[in-house]
Amino acid sequence: MRIDQALAWAVKQLEGGESPSVDAKVMLADILGKSQTYLFTWPDKTLTPSQIAQFEDAIERRKAGEPVAYIIGKRDFWTLSLFTSSHTLIPRPDTEVLVEHVINWATGNVSANTPNKPPLSICDLGTGTGAIALALASELPQASVIGVDFLSDAVALAKRNANSNKIENARFMQSDWFSALRGHTFDIIVSNPPYIDETSPYLNEGDVRFEPKSALTSGDSGLSDIKHIISHASTYLNSNGLLAFEHGFDQGDAVKALLQTSGFVNVKTIKDYGNNDRVTLGQWP
């Protein structure tokens, strides 16, 4: 079977899915250890029996709904290539909105770019793959970044991703939100916490079906973990420090009100690439 024949077969197998052609190309390129450009350049290259078997298995898994990021074991995020696992959420493009606005805030902070000031300190709560922490660390090389997660498997994965991307200014530790951070304070606390209501029908759709529910759902209409973080954040934030969340498309007003009620100032909600409320941030005065 040639590359072009394999792709045509795979697209037909995945017909009706979200992105049959894209999925097929990503998985075949990974199996071949080549770029997707290679697939277009050498469409007449013949696959080995082993490669055909691997591709057929990958297509069957995708037909069953398993996310491509779990099948190939990695996902691009920001400028990074990250290993993934079933213990953690799959990094998504909308989370880059959170990264972008935190970087914008940080680069306007005097301690981010003044040599005689202490390094900017950043904490990523519920780090998962380490996506947010590592993206921030890569763009703010003078900053000191800590990512925490209550799962030891997630911490190990984030460390692996730091090593594979050669990022040295981020470290990771196990912690149930702030439990292991006593005595630490930060200029920025950022989080993409669980925020989906436990009864949401969205949990039965698409890739989300395969992702860990502990990283997706939260009580109190999805706001329980956000409320917990807000209620404790002031203890761990330096003066004028930033607290920034990713949240559900319909939670912007609620998160904004929670921050303002707790004493945060300069609170604003930002839309994602689909024009939905996605990120809310505020400063501790």
Whether the Cβ atoms of residue 236 and residue 184 lie closer than 8 Å to each other = yes
Q: What would the two tokens of residue 221 be?
A: 């209409």
**Domains of the chain from N-terminus onward:** 3-64 (1.10.8.10), 88-283 (3.40.50.150)
Predicted local distance difference test score (pLDDT) of residue 118: 76
Predicted local distance difference test score (pLDDT) of residue 205: 82
Predicted local distance difference test score (pLDDT) of residue 112: 46
Q: What would the two tokens of residue 65 be?
A: 């709904």
Nearest Cα to Cα of residue 103 among 141, 129, 130, 75: 141
Look up the pTM and report it.
Answer: 0.90
Q: In what order do the strands lie in the sheet with 121-125?
A: 170-174, 144-149, 121-125, 186-191, 237-246, 277-283, 265-271
DSSP 5-67: HHHHHHHHHTTTSS-HHHHHHHHHHHHHTS-HHHHHH-TTPBPPHHHHHHHHHHHHHHHTT--
Neighbours of 164 (CB within 10 A): 14
Nearest Cα to Cα of residue 95 among 259, 283, 281, 279: 279
Distances (CA, A) of 74 to 26, 86, 121, 247: 11, 11, 28, 24
Predicted local distance difference test score (pLDDT) of residue 114: 52
Nearest Cα to Cα of residue 239 among 126, 121, 103: 121
pLDDT, one tens digit for every residue, the chain (285 residues): 999 999 999 999 999 888 999 999 999 999 999 999 999 999 999 999 999 999 999 999 999 999 999 999 999 999 999 999 998 999 999 999 999 999 999 988 754 445 566 789 999 999 999 999 999 999 999 999 999 999 999 999 999 999 999 999 999 999 999 999 999 999 999 999 999 988 888 888 888 888 888 888 899 999 999 999 999 999 999 999 999 999 999 999 999 999 999 999 999 999 999 999 999 999 999
SS3 213: helix
